[in-house]
Amino acid sequence: MDGTISPESGFESGAKKDDAYRVLARKYRPRTFDDLVGQEPMVRTLQNAFETGRIAQAWMLTGVRGVGKTTTARILARGLNYEIPGEVEQPTIRLDKPGIHCEAIMEGRHVDVIEMDAASHTGIGDIREITDAARYRPASARYKVYIIDEVHMLSNAAFNGLLKTLEEPPEHVKFIFATTEIRKVPVTVLSRCQRFDLRRIDAEKLVSLLRDIAGKEGIDIADEALALIARAGEGSARDSLSLLDQAIAHGGGHIGSEHLREMLGLADRARVIDLFEQVMKGDAAAALEEMKGQYEIGADPVVVLSDLADFTHLVTRLKIVPKAGDEASVTEAERTRGREFAEKLSLRLLSRAWQILLKGIAEVQAAPKPLAAADMVLVRLAYAADLPDPEEALKALRDGTLPPAGAQQPGSGAGRGAPQGAGGQPVQARMSTAQAGPASSGHGPSARMAGSPSAQLRPVESAPEPKVAEAPVPHVPTRPEPAVNGPGSLAECAALAAEKRDIPLKVAIERNMRLVSFEPGRIEFQPTPDADADLAGNLGRKLTEWTGTRWICIVSRTQGRPTLHEEREANKRQLLTDARSEPLVAELLAAFPGAEIVNVHVRAPEGDTPSAEAVPENPDEGEFDGDEQDPNA
């Protein structure tokens, strides 16, 4: 099956002529399995089943709108009851000649083929009528066929009432279900049916179908217009035929691509490609002008961005699969220019543009002013076009490389405009001035932008800048001296709690408090997620009671230093790492496979008094419980 319609086809147009106009979707509705376009796997399965006599009791047809679920159900019912006296006496999919039941079945008026819309018959009472009538044999046909459309709309009670009959139906009863929401159908029903997923029709077959129907209707239509209809139909034959019907009325006998764009509110495809080129160059000004021009002739900003995303997807496919340009839905302009872009643009750039467009389309749809939102998406695309990839940015920072002085970035044309720095001077110019040397740069912030990122860290040898008097920074001792009436550090608070036998508070201080600041009488800390909600109040009350001086404990959102427990664990890991790196220890570990270092004792040099850092503050917990240990001791 190639998806074409021959004059001998069994379509309704060849069956009867009505005075009243019938839309193309009904006039050219398929009547045989050969007329089904793009559903070859299902047809092959049914053909083998009918020829071997392995006919199921129920079928589930699912797929998007317009792919032919209800039509396929009628054709299947016709094949089950196909009969020509003296020639055909059994089910078949070869429906070359009209049978005695075919016309009534295809028109939905046969007494033994009952169609029910589950959207309007959702209750258990409707299903009870089916189960009661299923006991009786068909009036004239071979099988009594029940076609239930939109079956997912049935209620739970209706589904449950259908299960028994569906599992063990009489030999003369067949069920055909159709739905667009297969996930809403209970598994108990799906397990009793043969499921067929009707596919979207390929664009090439859809274009061929539309061309044949247009020829039968005597309509002159351009190939590009057919491709536009097939693309807008999104694989749905009914949607595509409805658009063709509308285009015939709009074009008045001749349909060109410009008529389709005007009717659908689409932007010119060539202009969309021009817009793509402008944003990829980083020319934001030209892109905004192009968007404004398309908007003024009636193009919807959402549609323009959607077309831009489609072309981005096409260029990406052409880069990966060059044969993708040979599809019938791809116009010559898209094919030629798309391959040019595919050779020049990287996959990372195309992927980034796709992500920006995908998010931007949703923003434009929800924005009160779609044109303004679309403009901002284009600006975002243009400025992201020449951004370095993360690997390139890291490499530039690591190597200390920057673009040459005065060199324009890709896409930084006049239409885009250079970013302005302080005083209105462009950043590029400021960087060029800085790189010219002390003779031209003088002093100031610009001079520190010369060369590379590392140059910003070098001292400037030019004229000294005026210094601003700064308050002297007070010296903060590593271990504050304890106050007269209280502890002088968080570690001493934990030691005081241990001395007072308040072990829960000691553990909370060590494991749940990230110290922000410590002053006599005032502690500010950030609690850990598993800290007690009343930790600050409890600690303040206990310290006030133990010291006789008022203490205030404040919970802060500022990121604090690691907890005492985390610092001890970090010191322990560092000591173990340092120990493993000692040559003698490494030789011992190599000589005794499986040996491990379980502890490290920090000893003061001989003749020296042990420092506070080398002596554990809490001997009960081992050598790693000091507030601040020196890893190099």
Contacts of 537 (CB under 8 A, 6+ apart): 553
Mean pLDDT of 448-455: 35
Edge-first strand order for the sheet with 513-519 is 513-519, 522-527, 552-555
C-alpha to C-alpha distance for 57 and 60, rounded to whole angstroms: 11
Cα 226 to its chain centre, rounded Å, is 31
**Six-digit token string for 111:** 């007494």
Cα 272 to its chain centre, rounded Å, is 24
Q: Give residue 456's pLDDT.
A: 36
pLDDT at 258 over 90: no
Does residue 581 sit in the same domain as residue 553? Answer: no
Asked if residue 328 belongs to a domain, the reply is yes
Of these ranges, 329-343, 348-362, 575-589, the one predicted with the greatest mean pLDDT is 348-362
Q: Which band of pLDDT confidence, cut at 50, 70 and 90, is reported for residue 607?
A: low
Residue where the block lists tokens 């872009």: 341
What would the pLDDT profile of 412-443 be if each residue is shown by its tens digit?
A: 443 444 333 333 333 333 333 333 443 333 44
Q: Are the CB atoms for 435 and 405 separated by under 8 Å? A: yes
**Element holding 149 (H helix, E strand):** strand 144-149
Does residue 587 sit in the same domain as residue 496? Answer: no
User: pTM for the full model?
Assistant: 0.52
Asked if residue 337 belongs to a domain, the reply is yes
Does residue 55 sit in the same domain as residue 93? Answer: yes
Q: What percent of the chain has pLDDT over 70?
A: 76
Poorest-confidence range of 247-251, 260-264, 284-288, 312-316? 260-264
Does residue 275 sit in the same domain as residue 324? Answer: yes
386, HSE (Cβ side, Cα atoms, 13 Å): 18
Q: Give residue 557's pLDDT.
A: 83
CATH of the domain at 520: 3.30.300
Asked if residue 468 belongs to a domain, the reply is no
| Host domain of residue 603 | 571-621
Which residue, of 371, 395, 419, is where some domain finishes? 395
Mean pLDDT of 298-306: 86
Does residue 181 sit in the same domain as residue 81? Answer: yes
What is the number of structural domains in the chain? 4
What would the pLDDT profile of 144-191 be if each residue is shown by its tens digit?
A: 999 999 999 999 999 999 999 999 999 999 999 999 999 999 999 999
Q: Which band of pLDDT confidence, cut at 50, 70 and 90, is reported for residue 194?
A: very high
Does residue 269 sit in the same domain as residue 304? Answer: yes
Which residue, of 179, 197, 215, is where some domain finishes? 197
Three-state DSSP at 630 gives: coil
Exposure string for 472-483, b = 16+ CB within 10 A, e = fewer: eeeeeeebeeee
Choice between 10 and 546, residue whose per-residue pLDDT is larger: 546
CATH of the domain at 281: 1.20.272.10
C-alpha to C-alpha distance for 82 and 50, rounded to whole angstroms: 12
pLDDT at 562 over 80: yes
Does residue 546 sit in the same domain as residue 598? Answer: no
Which residue, of 146, 181, 197, is where some domain finishes? 197
Q: Which band of pLDDT confidence, cut at 50, 70 and 90, is reported for residue 393?
A: low
pLDDT at 197 over 60: yes
pLDDT at 492 over 80: yes
Does residue 526 sit in the same domain as residue 605? Answer: no
Of these ranges, 184-193, 329-338, 452-461, 549-558, the one predicted with the greatest mean pLDDT is 184-193
C-alpha to C-alpha distance for 214 and 253, rounded to whole angstroms: 10
| Mean per-residue pLDDT of the chain | 77
Asked if residue 494 belongs to a domain, the reply is yes
Does residue 500 sit in the same domain as residue 586? Answer: no
Amino acid at 158: A
Q: Give residue 362's pLDDT.
A: 92
Does residue 46 sit in the same domain as residue 184? Answer: yes
Q: Give residue 163's pLDDT.
A: 92
Q: Give residue 375's pLDDT.
A: 93
Does residue 502 sit in the same domain as residue 526? Answer: yes
Does residue 54 sit in the same domain as residue 123? Answer: yes
Asked if residue 240 belongs to a domain, the reply is no
Choice between 29 and 623, residue whose per-residue pLDDT is larger: 29
